[in-house]
Amino acid sequence: MNKQKKQQDEKPRVFSGVQPTGILHIGNYIGALKVWVENQDLYDNIFCIVDLHAITIPEAINPKDLKQQVREVAAMYLACGIDPKKSTIFVQSEVPSHSELAWILNCVTPISWLEKMTQYKSKSGKQKTVNAGLLNYPVLMAADILLYETDIVPVGEDQKQHVELSRDIARRFNSLFGTTLKIPKSMIRKSGARIMGLDNPLQKMSKSAAIKKNDHAIMLTDSPEIIRKKISKAVTDANGEISFRKASPGVKNLLTIHETFSGKPTLEIEEYFKGKGYGFLKKEVAEVVINEIRPIQEKYFQILNDKPYLEKVLEQGKSRALGLSNIVLRNVKNQIGLS
Ligand code: ATP
Ligand code: LTN
């Protein structure tokens, strides 16, 4: 066994993923990628690009663009600091065990559990025709997680309910067919797990909303000028209070963005902005964001243009994911009486 593999096998396992539904925004970065990178040395990490989840909203996906969007997410993982020597990166649809386990888990998951999911309720409300994939979305997510005997799932606040459901599905499978699946836990950062839209601080910042509204989100590929402009237009209020506890949602969102990018304690931030106006706050927030994402952007475009490197990383990731996931899938099939 080589040294890298032995070290990976001894650490608790992390699994997480992002949908290739467009360019990533600072919410994805703060809630997910930054957490992955900060904890990378502690765990055996598996990071997936969940293209099968992305097709649950068919009108958001153009078949001609999907492969490129997958590459863009992979390049962004690497540019943010995911190191392929420490982490496995792969594309969900290239590892068929995900769909296969999802089907089996669908057969042990009550529909009522799925109908209660808040993401399903909000996304299905926006569709003319609701496809079964949207309802079964969290079952595929459970399959992703459970296939790798995952210990920890680092995600933003919006995915907490789905990780809870994965735990319930695993417990139900284990009680029906005997203990087979490991019960995972979510990892959610205390502050910054739900970054809000700049145009509407009551709505979560999301890739899909960013496609429709220009000033909704800061994309990780935005230029410094665009970032300054978007933040200068961010919705605030008329009361002028710069405090984490008392501020309105828009101002609190800006303070949280500052806190997560600057890494400074909240008291120090409040002290710094005391008596200063929102114009100053917005300028400072833009600068901390620009400073951190500038080097990421340089790496991103370089990696995106290096197709052979990207392909090599994804090929290696696929090979490890195929091997690991087959072991759990075989056990599950065995327990359930399938050949
Ligand atoms: P879409 O609009 O296509 O559903 P999204 O922007 O909500 O996309 P996902 O691909 O669903 O992004 O999420 C990837 C990761 O980023 C998940 O861990 C999710 O919890 C996290 N995340 C998404 N939006 C935010 C946000 N606004 N704040 C913090 N974390 C977020
Ligand atoms: N549903 C998640 C993406 C996702 C995921 C996963 C996250 C799919 N499978 C497994 C963690 C673990 C989202 O962010 N929308």
**What pLDDT digit, counting tens, does each position of 136-163 carry?**
999 999 999 999 999 999 999 999 999 9
Ligand minimally distant from the alpha carbon of residue 260: 1
Q: pLDDT at position 59, please?
A: 82
Burial class (CB within 10 angstroms; exposed 0-12, middle 13-18, buried 19+) of 197: buried
CA of 272 to the centre of ligand 2 (A): 37
Phi, psi for 156 (deg, rounded to 5)? -75, 165
Residue 319 has a CB neighbour count (10 Å cut-off) of 14
Is any atom of ligand 1 closer than 6 Å to the C-beta of 193?
yes
Collect all residues with Cβ–Cβ distance below 8 Å to 72 and sequence separation of at least 6.
20, 23, 304
Residues identified as active-site = 123, 204, 207
Structure token digits, residue 197: 């839209």
Query: Which atom of ligand 1 lies at the shortest distance from residue 156's CA?
Result: 20
Q: Where does the chain show beta strands of DSSP type E?
A: 13-18, 44-49, 87-91, 152-154, 185-187
Query: Which atom of ligand 1 lies at the shortest distance from residue 24's CA?
Result: 6
CA of 13 to the centre of ligand 1 (A): 21
Query: Which atom of ligand 2 lies at the shortest distance from residue 50's CA?
Result: 8
User: Looking at ligand 1, which residue's alpha carbon is closest to its atom 26?
Assistant: 27
CA of 241 to the centre of ligand 2 (A): 36
Mean pLDDT for 298-302 is 98
Domains of the chain: residue spans and CATH? 2-193+307-336 (3.40.50.620), 207-300 (1.10.240.10)
Q: pLDDT at position 214, please?
A: 92
Q: What are 189-213's pLDDT values in tens digits?
A: 999 999 999 999 999 999 989 988 9
Amino acid of residue 63: P
Is any atom of ligand 1 closer than 6 Å to the C-beta of 195?
yes
Q: pLDDT at position 13, please?
A: 98
CA of 268 to the centre of ligand 2 (A): 34
Of 114, 3, 104, 127, nearest to 56 by C-alpha is: 127
Higher-pLDDT residue of 12 and 239 is 12
Average pLDDT of the residues of the chain: 96
User: Looking at ligand 2, which residue's alpha carbon is closest to its atom 11?
Assistant: 16
CA of 87 to the centre of ligand 2 (A): 17
When pLDDT is cut at 50, 70 and 90, the band that residue 262 belongs to is very high
**Is 126's pLDDT higher than 90?**
no
Is any atom of ligand 1 closer than 6 Å to the C-beta of 260?
no
Mean pLDDT for 73-95 is 98
Is any atom of ligand 1 closer than 6 Å to the C-beta of 205?
yes
Q: What are 218-260's pLDDT values in tens digits?
A: 999 999 999 999 999 999 998 888 989 889 999 999 999 999 9
User: What pTM was estimated for this model as a whole?
Assistant: 0.96
Mean pLDDT for 263-289 is 96
**Is 332's pLDDT higher than 90?**
yes
Least confident of 23-37, 228-242, 307-321, 324-338: 228-242
Mean pLDDT for 15-32 is 97
CA of 7 to the centre of ligand 1 (A): 30
When pLDDT is cut at 50, 70 and 90, the band that residue 4 belongs to is low
Place of tokens 């040294």: 3
Burial class (CB within 10 angstroms; exposed 0-12, middle 13-18, buried 19+) of 289: buried
What residues flank ligand 2, with Cβ below 6 Å? 15-17, 19, 50, 53, 141, 144-145, 153, 155, 159, 162
Q: pLDDT at position 204, please?
A: 97
What SS3 state is found at 292?
helix
CA 166/CA 317 separation, integer angstroms: 23
Query: Which atom of ligand 1 lies at the shortest distance from residue 158's CA?
Result: 20
